[in-house]
Amino acid sequence: MKTNIHLSTLLLFPLGCLFAQAPPSSFAAEGFDSHIELHWQGSGATSVTGYQLFRSDNGGQSFSLLKALGPGNETYIDWTGDEGAGISRQYAIRTLAEGGMIGPFSDTLTATTHVFSDEELLEMVQRYTFRYFWDFAHPQSGMARERNTSGNTVTTGGSGFGLLSIVTGIERGWITRQEGVDRMLQIVSFLQICEKYHGALPHWINGATGQTIPFSTFDNGGDLVETAFMMQGLLICREYFDQNNALENTLRDVITDLWEGVEWDWYRRNNSNVLYWHWSPQYQWQMNFPLRGFNETQITYLLAVASPTHGVPASLYQTGWAGGGYTNNASYYGYPICCGPYAGGPLFFAHYSFLGFDPRNKKDAYCNYFVRNRNHALIHQAYCNSNPENHEGYSDECWGLTASDNPWGYQAHDPFPANDNGTIAPTAALASMPYTPQESMKALKHFYRVLGEQLWGRYGFYDAFNLDQNWFASSYLAIDQGPIVAMIENHRTGLFWDLFMQAPGIQSAVAAVGFVPDASSTEETSRTSYGFDVVLRPNPVVAGQTTLLELQVLTGSVFQVEVVDKQGVLRQIAVNTRAFKPGIYNLPIATAGLEPGMYFIAVKTENGKTRSVKLLVSP
């Protein structure tokens, strides 16, 4: 039971108790949309045993104990909810010390929430997530820890993603350029002394010593894919830190040495026509993992071709990356996927290689990857909205399956039923922001405003949640946090796409593997840009009866209308390649032969635009 008190009274203290440490310094309170953050500077004294936070909800007339925290805590999230409804609260803090000693109260602070715009929400998510790579970086190496419980274990690929958070922090004014340069020099100096394997870094490294931490028994050497993720980030930083001064000149020189030292050609395994993921001086090629797509490793081939010192033939892009089972001509929920596994696979496939590589305005022999990745995200949203496995909470605003923690461990989740156990990871939808800005923003608001009390913490969204199990992760993973910051920045400014594509050798490598200009990826994904709109009435409809699809055509085109079930299987073609001029049309959709349940009406145009509307068929 909470007890209301007045801060001025001394009756709070046990008789004979003496004041201990002074209140923590730099105590501050900041109001956001649906929470207030409190933070302070700990004293560092060994005698301090913790802190007590007090809150007032009545304008400071009386206070209640909000939370008692241990000495290592210097941040607290006070959830308000109500979507920024102007909630004001007052706070005070005091220090606890050995022997039951209690310090005096701090000055009272007031913080007020307000409704955040979309841009403010994006800024908030980036800023909080950036902290994982800035505040929680390994103190000796500056590298990103694998997860928030990893101690000295730092990650190569996750740290490469985290480099982009440092650049974002400078651009957004959270740190100074000098602070960013200092951290970058700390990181690259550490990378210089790390164990390497023909220039490639291992997956995990001891952040204190630079020695390899085996990822598995045979994976104790070079990891070419993790190295590619690091090099993607380093090349972006080499472009960004372009000032002509001693520190930035040194930074660029060290990055160049690291980049030119990677022996991409060694990982061809005796000049074969494919790159291999791993090599170990102890186990050689025992892992035996050729890099064939489509998956997250596309950037590895682009960098290997671009290397000025140890390049591989551009033909390996065809014989290796796209060398087996690459294309996928299926559509799911009305969206073609072009390449990759069933429904596109986990969404990190659409993120890791594209933090720097800009998929817009170009295509190779197989597809335009911006369009492919946009469809991939839309398939995930449609799958979660249809929810064929009946998982709790899935909807068009709660979507996104990828590799993440779950209640039983760690798994790559995707829309294939055997890989879907009800776990949603915020990074899946949020890192898809450049492809699906409206759909991803809808998910962001749901994750924060609806689930945030359990899902939001010091470093932004926790890794994942599973509402079937009423489970919310307490973990943060570098490889999930990094794409959130970088891809939101690409959505907002295109910064990392621009920087990476201007790096020497990248454009020529992209051309060498077969990319050619293609404008289709520049199309806006908003509903109004489609040139048509659809409304379904009645909905739900009784099985066997007919519903009407109102097609509002703004720009004349040839349309096809399909009925797709919630597994993505085509059930009927309601309108087959018919031309419509601008106007409003009522098109009958027969439900004869459809069992009661959920379906999608997919409306497609001749230029590849698709809109899907959900249809419920009742008994």
Q: Is 83 exposed, middle or buried (0-12, 13-18, 19+ CB in 10 A)?
A: middle
Structural domain ending residue among the three candidates 51, 83, 115: 115
Exposure string of 352-369, with b = 16+ CB inside 10 Å and e = fewer, is bbbbbbbbbebbbebbbb
Q: Minimal CA–CA distance to 436: which of 496, 523, 561, 515?
A: 523
Which of the residue ranges 4-13, 154-163, 550-559, 594-603 has the most confident prediction, judged by mean pLDDT?
154-163
Sorting pLDDT into bands at 50, 70 and 90, what band is 15?
very low
Structure tokens at 235: 């090349």
Residue range 202-259, pLDDT digits in tens: 999 999 999 999 999 999 999 999 999 999 999 999 999 999 999 999 999 999 999 9
Give the integer Cα–Cα distance in Å for 27 and 40: 4
How far apart CA 247 and CA 250 sit, in angstroms, is: 5
Percentage above 70 pLDDT, the chain: 95
Judgement on whether residues 368 and 410 belong to the same structural domain of the protein:
yes
> Structure tokens of 538?
């009645």
Amino acid (1-letter code) at residue 375? N
**C-alpha pair distances (Å), 72 with each of 50, 68, 158, 494, 532:** 8, 12, 25, 38, 56
CA nearest to 149, candidates 453, 400, 408, 459: 459
Q: Of 115, 136, 159, which marks where a domain is finished?
A: 115
**Residue located via tokens 């995707």:** 414
**CA 457 to chain CA mean position, Å:** 15
Return the amino acid letter for 415: P
The radius of gyration computed from the CA coordinates of the chain, to the nearest angstrom, equals 27
pTM: 0.85
Tell me the per-residue pLDDT of 315-332, one tens digit each, with 9 for 90 and over: 999 999 999 889 998 989
What span, in angstroms and rounded, lies between the C-alpha atoms of 36 and 445?
Answer: 17
Question: Which amino acid type is present at position 244?
Answer: N
Amino acid sitting at position 354 = F
Distance from C-alpha of 601 to C-alpha of 534, rounded to nearest angstrom = 10
Residues 6 or more apart whose CB falls under 8 angstroms from that of 148 comprise 132, 136, 459, 475, 476
- Judgement on whether residues 561 and 508 belong to the same structural domain of the protein: no
Residues 328 and 467 in one domain: yes
pLDDT in tens, 280-298: 999 999 999 999 999 999 9
Same domain, 515 and 538: no
Does 167 fall in a domain?
A: yes
Domain-terminating residue out of 93, 115, 137: 115
Q: What is the mean pLDDT of residues 497-512?
A: 97
pLDDT digits (tens, 9 = 90+) for 549-568: 888 787 788 999 999 887 77
Q: How many domains does the chain have?
A: 3
CATH of the domain at 70: 2.60.40.10
| Residue 433 sits in the same domain as residue 409 | yes
182 inside domain: yes
Average pLDDT, the chain: 92
> Which of 166-180, 289-303, 472-486, 572-586 has the least mean pLDDT?
572-586
437 and 559 both lie in a single domain? no
87 in the same domain as 216: no
Cα–Cα distance for residue pair 30/343, rounded to 1 Å: 42
CATH number at residue 212: 1.50.10.140
What pLDDT shows up at residue 5?
53
* Peptide bond preceding 294 in cis form (omega within 30 of 0): yes
**Bridge partners, residue 611, by sequence:** 603
Q: Report pLDDT for 522.
A: 52
The answer to whether position 227 is within a domain reads yes
> Does 132 share its domain with 102?
no
Q: Is residue 526 predicted with pLDDT exceeding 50? A: no
- Pair type for strands 471-472 and 516-517: unpaired
